[in-house]
Amino acid sequence: MDVQYIGEHLWPGRLGHFFVITSFVASLFSTFCYFTAVRTENDLPNSNKWRLLGRGGFILHTVSLISIFVALFYIIANHLFEYHYAWEHSSYSLPGEYLLSCFWEGQQGSFMLWIFWHCVLGLVVMGTAKSLETRTMTIISLVQVALGTMILGFYLGDDIKIGSTPFTLLRDAMQGAPIFQQANYMEFVKDGNGLNVLLQNYWMVIHPPVLFLGFASTLIPFAYCIAAMWKGDYQTFVKPTLAWSLLNGAVLGTGIMMGGAWAYESLNFGGYWAWDPVENASLVPWITMIAALHTLLIYRSTGRALTMTMILFAVTHLLIWYSTFLTRTGILGKTSVHAFTGDGAALTYHLLIVIGVLLIISLVALIARWRSLPRIKSEEETLSREFWMFIGSVILFLSSIQIIITTSIPVWSPLAKWITGKDFAPPSDVMQHYNNIQVWVAIIIGILSATVLYMKFKNTDGKALGKKLGLTALIALLMAAGIAWGQHITAWQYVLMLFAACYGIVANIYYGIVVQKAKFKKLGPSVAHLGFATVLLGILLSSYNKHPISFSTAGIPMDFGKKTQEENAKENSENVTLFRGIPVAMGDYFATYIGDSDVAGKDRRIYYKVQYERKDTVTNKVIERFMLYPDAFINPKGQQGLSANPSTKHYWNRDLFTFINAATDRSKTDTSTYRSHIVGKPGDTIWLNNGYMVFNGTNKNDLKNKRYVPAAGDEHLEFSLKVYDLNNEVKEINPVYIIKDRSYVSYVEDTLHELGLFARANLLIKHNDAGKDTVLTEILVRQTDPKDDFIVLKALVFPYINVLWLGIIVMVFGFFISLGDVLSRKVSARSADK
């Protein structure tokens, strides 16, 4: 017997699912129409009709996708927890600014974001591709079909599931749970599971859309390359492919470093980059895109390297899909701190089929046109720009191979074990493993990125080149020597990296000003390469001398969950226990844990107030004082431990980066007791553990204690108590004494969490021998023992980290300068740069 459920809102889900089907069918229709338009090109009127139908289908697909977004946002914003997606990713306590983050926390929402950007980019291509429209849009629409299947939620038979719809009902996702046997089950679904606490950060509102725009924009150069090989036209595709490649380099690079900024501000692994597999999965396609961009520049100016260009663009887009496979199937669950948990074998096989189809399309196009792809038989001159640009592209490609092979160890290790009988595990020290290899890539690319600009295509005068590079190299050497001495950089491979960075900065500035004569439209390459060199310098300066200042003095051992005892011992030595109100020396500062905030409103975080003072070593006077507020979700979603967010003090030449690793567990019983204090008149003082409190009488105006709401029959007195801490800062608390219905006494206490202070008020009747009663005011004070209120804090100094952020901005700006230059002029193959 079917249950007639009560309280469900079914129409948003039904409408959303209708648009899911419509979007998928429209993309399939658009693919068919555009493909037919290509097949009927000899009959131009008929081909144009099919092209217009293809456009209509793609527009309908776009409108339907936007409608899906609207339906799902309505469900999330209105907390319709009868839908599994809303229940799993949102809650009533979630602040409104993070509602959008609910979209991309889950698999289906992030796929929708990816599809949406393809829609936007597809509309632009539709209006600009001209003679290549039908072929490029065939590829784009086909990829949309593949992505559309990811959110279908359709079953073939009983076992084969195609995609997962975001409009699945909670009772369908959790079939068999006893609660769903009740028609009124919604009465028991009081709240949702909530958004992952790590995603409750403003960076996670803007980082995923930018990153997915970067992912999506790899499709357009790929589509143009397939279209060029399909048509056999190897000149028309150059300008749009170059423009889209530059856009992708800027946007995907920005998205990746936004993720680094999020990690820096929200994760407590102590930095902006950890070679995490999810980070690597987004970095590798960017590296191959940069390599493809430079081989395309070679082809544009010399007619060489077209085959490599086609391969690199195809590999870049395939890597996006492979990265999706890595991060969404759960295969990285044990090696990544922020991979998706996966939807089982169904999604695994689904993604592998899509990768296989796109790989076949790429191989068929390359094999079919292999012999006809334009080539120049003669060898390049060694002193030519194209030769060293090609060498740089190959090195970038090899770099990406090393990163992706190591990242993919969980994928290929079972097969390798079956063949060899040996276990293959990810490196124990991930940072050292990657750094030891990639530092050499950084050195070579840093030097080449500046040197090649001084070369000319076809051939270069060696003597003139030597004079220009000799001067810049000498200046860079002096600059690197000064920095190495000042920052105590002694490891020789990092000294070489420092020289490469300094050389890149000096040579690119000189090239832009002297050689290019500061002509803005021509500055794109030198500005982008200058930004890259500055990024290298920022990485080196901020990482090489990154150091903790929070050395343990309490001798309290803690388990930090590290793999080895040595790692745990090291972590213990670099975390300091701060008891409330007791200053502790940390580097140049004295740090004092002042107290924490109460959980209020929708923000479930607890903010820990830590005061830092820096004193003059001679006079001992305080020359700097500031507060940092690292925060944490205690026991998020019922889990043990805490989820911490750092707090950072920014200086022009360093960052003081702090985060909480442990704190007082509020769920445990507080053993402190109330102590009675009799006050007679305003001005009477009560001494506290870390301050004092002054009685100011009663409040005769509006109530200040928001915890008390007067009820009918209440008689109440609210008392005013001014609290002074060690820094003479003043707070006010207002306990309330209540007589209810003239029959019994009650009270509402007031608290000051940052001092661990709780206060109640009471009235006492004192009888004397004369028969006159005196009313006394009793203030009951309970204050947590400082030793029972503590935090375990880690503080790191990142020297000159602003150099890194500056470099990223400059590099992205250089991409956009080059993009503007490309769009403003005619670009065709073999139009040599001068």
**Could you tell me the pLDDT band of residue 633, with boundaries at 50, 70 and 90?**
confident
CA 167 to chain centre: 26
Is the pLDDT at 826 greater than 50, yes or no? yes
| Number of Cβ atoms within 10 Å of the Cβ of 485 | 10
* Beta pairing class for 675-679 and 654-663: unpaired
Average pLDDT over residues 638-659: 81
Is the pLDDT at 490 greater than 90, yes or no? yes
Is the pLDDT at 634 greater than 70, yes or no? no
**Could you tell me the pLDDT band of residue 159, with boundaries at 50, 70 and 90?**
confident
The DSSP secondary structure of 559-617, one letter per residue, reads ----SSHHHHHHHHHT-EEEETT--EEETTEEEEEEEEPPPBTTB--EEEEEEEEEE-T
- Which region among 72-76, 419-423, 553-557 has the lowest average model confidence (pLDDT)? 553-557
CA dihedral 48, 50, 55, 58 (to 10 degrees): -160
Give yes or no for a contact between 150 and 108, defined as CB atoms under 8 angstroms apart.
yes
Write the single-letter amino acid at 633: F
- Per-residue three-class SS string for 130-159: HHHHHHHHHHHHHHHHHHHHCCCCEEECCC
Encode pLDDT of 277-319 as tens digits: 889 999 999 999 999 999 999 999 999 999 999 999 999 999 9
> What pLDDT shows up at residue 337?
53
Return the structure tokens found at 98.
């993070």
Candidate ranges 289-293, 341-345, 733-737, 788-792; pick with highest mean pLDDT: 289-293
Is the pLDDT at 334 greater than 80, yes or no? no
d(CA 100, CA 77): 9
Average pLDDT over residues 656-673: 76
State the DSSP H helix or E strand holding residue 722, giving kind and residue range, or none if neither: strand 714-725
Mean of pLDDT over the chain: 88
Write the single-letter amino acid at 287: I
Return the structure tokens found at 143.
């990829």
Determine if residue 560 is left, alpha or beta; phi over 0 gives left, psi from -120 to 50 gives alpha, anything else beta: alpha
Domain ranges in the chain are 1-195, 673-783
| Number of Cβ atoms within 10 Å of the Cβ of 436 | 12
Measured between alpha carbons, how far is residue 791 from residues 265, 628, 660 in Å? 19, 13, 7
* Beta pairing class for 790-799 and 744-748: unpaired
Dihedrals phi, psi of 303, to nearest 5 degrees: 80, 5
**Could you tell me the pLDDT band of residue 699, with boundaries at 50, 70 and 90?**
confident
Return the structure tokens found at 237.
């595709």
Average pLDDT over residues 150-162: 82
CA 345 to chain centre: 27
Determine if residue 80 is left, alpha or beta; phi over 0 gives left, psi from -120 to 50 gives alpha, anything else beta: beta
CA-wise closest residue to 472 among 496, 499, 495: 499
